Amino acid sequence: MDAAAKADILSKAHSTILLSLADEVLREVLGNKTMASLWKTLEDKYQNKSLTNRLYLKQRLYTLRMTESASVKEHVDNFNRIVLDLQGVDVKIDDED
C-alpha cells in the first residue's frame, strides 16, 4: 500500500469516528487532527483501566439480575456488554466468575 492510499484510509477513519460521536464528546476531541490521536484521546477518556473501574465492572457482573419486565434478549445483551467492558480493561473472567 502506498503512502497516499494509507493517508486516504486514515483520513476516512478519522472522519467516520468524528461523525459517529455525540456532540458533547465531539467538543472534547475536536482538536485532534489525526486518527491515532483521536483514538488515543477517546481510549484514555472512556476506557479507564483503573482498579476502581475494574472492581465496579466486576460488581456489575456479580450483581446482574434479570428483571421481570426485561426480555431474555435484553438480559443477555446486558451480560455481554459487561463481559466486553471487562475484556476492554484487561480483566480475565474465570470459570468460577
Question: Residue ranges of the domains in the chain?
Answer: 3-46, 51-88
pLDDT score for 64: 92
Using a cut of 0.85, tell me whether the model's pTM lies above it: no
Residues of the chain with pLDDT under 70: 97
Q: Which residues contact 97 (CB under 8 A, 6 or more apart)?
A: 58, 61, 62
Distance CA 39, CA 37 (A): 5
- Residue 62 CB neighbours (<10 A): 9
